[in-house]
Amino acid sequence: MSTKPRTSSFGHVERLDSGRWRARYTGPDSQRRSKTFDTKTDARLWLATAQADVVRRAWRAPEAGERTVGEYAMDYLVRTDLRASTRELYEAVWRVHLRKTWSQVPVGDITPQRVRQWHEAATQTVKPTALVQAYRLLRALLNVAVGDEAITINPCRVRSAGVPKSARPSRALTAGEVHAVTSKIPARYQALVQVMAFGGLRFGEATALRRRDVAPTGEAVTVTRSVRRISGEWVVGPPKTEAGRRTVALPPSVATRLTAHLEAHVAEDVDALVFGTSNGSFLTVSNFHSTFRRAATACELAPVRVHELRHTGATLAAATGASTAELMHRLGHSSPAAALIYQHASSHRDVEIARALDGLATNAVVVPIRPRRKSSRTG
């Protein structure tokens, strides 16, 4: 038999027949909760902590934090708003890099220190890109737990752990380099190089284009879909973002080349792929990358990736004076931050700026500065 409970304005503490102490209170959700302690002091501290959380509006149902990371992962990976390619990536990342460590861990037991220790250990065995993906997924799962009010704050706070570190920074080609590579690439893919470089299309967007997506004289292309190869199958879906649905105007010289390409390499069917293989199927990025790399090597260019053609198109457009909003539309970006990535300074552009400044300097009217006349003092 327990002693009569000692009540307060928030909950109460009572001594049990066993000699231990039990604290009880009714939470904001109208549910009664209790916990047993060895000492009265510990029981009162637990009660005081719960009361403080209620006052600060930081109270969370204790059982909410008992849901495991694995349970959150299972829900997250079947979300309908994930692209097929993204879901496939996340499933692999969870299975290979996260499940063994985190599957059975309650989200309420995860601390910043625990995440940091896992990350430090993983750097010894996991490649940098894969580790960034794993950290991002873990952070996303715990963000859901925060939204569910199972935890108050996300414990993933490792500085820069979610930022990929490229082996080398992306670079933009000059217009001259684009033309040089184009001349070395097989005729079937020359227009693809030009459309990506001067239109800023993603590879999946460009290779999903069909004849009906090209304006009559080739002056523009309309992007409504993208294609990727997932688990050995071609998956055609919407562009990466809703802003990716757009019409992109092409320079006249590129339009002329694209029109010639349609006549020489594309069937008359309106649904024929504009940049497909010779048998009319989708072009894989790995095969095109090999072809593109050989052409770049033949031009004696520094290593360059296929995606840097899009980077080139964005940078050249920015150099013409295009605003951030105009770049967002042209590139299919939904946020200014994404478009601003491409508005970086380049060495050849800096030389052009210097020449323009020289024109201002040399054409300026020079006004001679006369020495100030000394004043004489009279006694």
Active site residues: 202, 307, 310, 333, 342
Q: Which helix (H) or strand (E) holds 28?
A: none
Instruction: Identify the three-state secondary structure at position 324.
Output: helix
Q: How many CB atoms lie within 10 A of CB 190?
A: 21
- Structure token digits, residue 361: 């300097």
CB 8 within 8 A of CB 20: no
**Using an 8 Å Cβ cutoff, are 312 and 176 in contact?**
no
Contact predicate 16/57, CB 8 Å: no
How many Å apart are CA 58 and CA 150, to the nearest integer? 11
Give the C-alpha distances (Å, rounded to integers) separating 229 from 77, 84, 237.
19, 10, 11
Q: What is the DSSP letter of 377?
A: P
Greatest alpha-carbon pair distance for the chain in Å reads 112
